[in-house]
């Protein structure tokens, strides 16, 4: 079996205590759709470590995944045998036209240089009536007041209107706009850590010093269920949209 993938800043991986907040914030999106695609053919575009594709496969979906990073591809093939893993570029998906029921794309589109081309490819591979489910950091809250993303691995972050425009421009109908938010426990941690639990983590990471024991304990204790997924609003942490390919 391959060793655990290293943390690079481009993807999140399970099992790293200091990364647990971000991992759980990604995980909640997969849990929100876990039973939605049971018995369906699902393609995950940009699967990273592969834990999400594996979760969907465990829930009964037939899952094919793709990533550009060769080490990630090898890791998924070794670690998650229920997932059919491909190596390739999201700008040219190695799938036939109208070949999948659903495309999953979580926390990936903000890394892409040609977002419209990727979404056109999604529309091509979806069957009529098929569905894209996509999440991405909300530019309004992730890089507030900036046009240039704070994360050096992000090429373009989006707000709700911009994501809607991209999806519709690719011929997809946006059917539901949701957002990821802090639930009650994380809201309390925001208050406890000076107004922002996220900033408390970022400040300690940038300082390059050991984390305070209390902060480490609070981060390690975050669960996916500490996040809420509810109708999208301008202040959501992440955008979480469903979009459908129209039927003839």
Q: Please give the mean pLDDT across all residues of the chain.
A: 91
Task: Report d(CA 15, CA 5) in Å as an integer.
Answer: 10
Helix axes 197-207, 20-33, angle to 10 degrees: 140
**How far is the first Cα of the chain from the last one, in angstroms, to the nearest whole number?**
45
CA 131 to chain centre: 16
Q: CA nearest 245: which of 115, 61, 118, 120?
A: 120
Instruction: Please indicate whether residue 141 or residue 178 has the higher confidence score (pLDDT).
Output: 178
Task: Report d(CA 242, CA 178) in Å as an integer.
Answer: 8
Helix (H, G, I), strand (E, B) or coil at 56: helix
**Are the C-beta atoms of residues 15 and 4 closer than 8 Å to each other?**
yes
pLDDT tens digits, 29-58: 999 999 999 999 999 999 999 999 999 999
Which pLDDT belongs to residue 226?
A: 98
Which pLDDT belongs to residue 120?
A: 98
Average pLDDT over residues 12-40: 93
pLDDT tens digits, 198-246: 999 988 887 888 889 999 999 999 999 999 999 977 789 999 999 999 8
Which pLDDT belongs to residue 1?
A: 39
Which pLDDT belongs to residue 233?
A: 75
Which pLDDT belongs to residue 41?
A: 98
Which pLDDT belongs to residue 10?
A: 55
**Are the C-beta atoms of residues 157 and 143 closer than 8 Å to each other?**
yes
Which pLDDT belongs to residue 42?
A: 98
Q: Beta-strand (E) ranges in the chain?
A: 41-45, 62-67, 84-87, 100-106, 126-137, 172-182, 227-231, 238-245
Pick from 26-40, 133-147, 152-166, 195-209 the range whose average pLDDT is largest. Answer: 26-40
Q: What is the CATH number of domain 17-245?
A: 3.40.50.150
Which pLDDT belongs to residue 2?
A: 44
Task: Report d(CA 143, CA 189) in Å as an integer.
Answer: 21
Q: Sign of dihedral through CA atoms 154, 219, 54, 99? A: negative
CB atoms within 10 A of CB 91: 14
pLDDT beyond 90 at 109? yes
Domain layout of the chain by residue ranges: 17-245
Q: The whole model's pTM is what?
A: 0.91
Which pLDDT belongs to residue 236?
A: 94
Task: Report d(CA 172, CA 40) in Å as an integer.
Answer: 19
């Amino acid at each position: 079996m391959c060793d655990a993938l290293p943390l690079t800043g481009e993807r999140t991986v399970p099992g790293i205590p200091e990364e647990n907040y971000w991992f759980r914030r990604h995980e909640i999106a997969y849990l929100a759709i876990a039973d939605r695609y049971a018995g369906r053919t699902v393609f995950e575009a940009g699967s990273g470590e592969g834990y999400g594709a594996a979760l969907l496969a465990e829930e009964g979906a037939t899952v094919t995944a793709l990533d550009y990073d060769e080490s990630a591809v090898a890791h998924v093939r070794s670690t998650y045998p229920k997932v059919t893993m491909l190596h390739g570029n999201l700008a040219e998906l190695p799938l036939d036209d109208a070949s999948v029921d659903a495309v999953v794309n979580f926390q990936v589109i903000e890394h892409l240089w040609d977002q419209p081309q990727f979404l056109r490819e999604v529309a091509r591979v979806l069957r009529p009536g098929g569905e894209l489910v996509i999440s991405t950091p909300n530019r309004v809250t992730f890089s507030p007041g900036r046009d240039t993303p704070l994360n050096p691995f992000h090429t373009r972050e989006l707000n709700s209107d911009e994501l809607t425009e991209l999806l519709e421009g690719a011929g997809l109908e946006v059917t539901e706009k949701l957002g990821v938010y802090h639930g009650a426990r994380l809201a309390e941690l925001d208050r406890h850590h000076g107004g922002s639990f996220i900033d408390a983590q970022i400040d300690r990471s940038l300082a390059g010093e050991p984390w305070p024991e209390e902060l480490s304990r609070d981060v390690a204790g975050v669960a996916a269920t500490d996040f809420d997924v509810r109708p999208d609003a301008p202040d959501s942490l992440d955008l979480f949209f469903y979009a459908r390919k129209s039927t003839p």
